Amino acid sequence: MTIKFTQDHEYIAVEGASGTVGITAYAQDQLGDIVFIELPVVGKVLKKGDEAAVVESVKAASEIYAPVSGTVTEVNAVLSGEPGLVNQDPAGAGWMFRMSIADAGELDTLMDEAAYQDHIK
């Protein structure tokens, strides 16, 4: 599994031609306690950079953007009742949606872990 990061603090964990998308630990820390998440609908076609979801915290509402182009294949429905999972485990149980990747070449425009750590310093 390869994990890539956007400048807007989304991650995509890539396995084959699909990816699991969520926000980074840094992003959830900046947002504070998450109280609501609006997830995309399964089947929604996204272009890289499209708004895919919305996270509302006690501090602010924040858009979550598609890290690459593709189609939403699954959403983490548990988050509807337990949005705080994103605070507790953003890269695990707090994932937001899975998508099929339309253009694997777009992954090359994203940051790896080292580049992302430099980005948030």
User: Given a cut of 90, is residue 43 above it in pLDDT?
Assistant: yes
Per-residue pLDDT, 68:
98
DSSP secondary structure of the chain? -EEEE-TTSEEEEEETTEEEEEE-HHHHHHH-SEEEEEPPPTT-EE-TT-EEEEEEESS-EEEEE-SSSEEEEEE-THHHH-TTHHHH-TTTTT--EEEEES-GGGGGGSB-HHHHHHHT-
Per-residue pLDDT, 119:
97
Per-residue pLDDT, 33:
97
Tens digit of each residue's pLDDT (9 = 90 or more) over 55-88: 999 999 999 999 999 999 999 999 999 999 999 9
User: Given a cut of 90, is residue 101 above it in pLDDT?
Assistant: yes
Per-residue pLDDT, 35:
97
Domains of the chain by start residue, with CATH: 2-110 (2.40.50.100)
Per-residue pLDDT, 1:
87
Average pLDDT rounded to a whole number, residues 42-50: 98
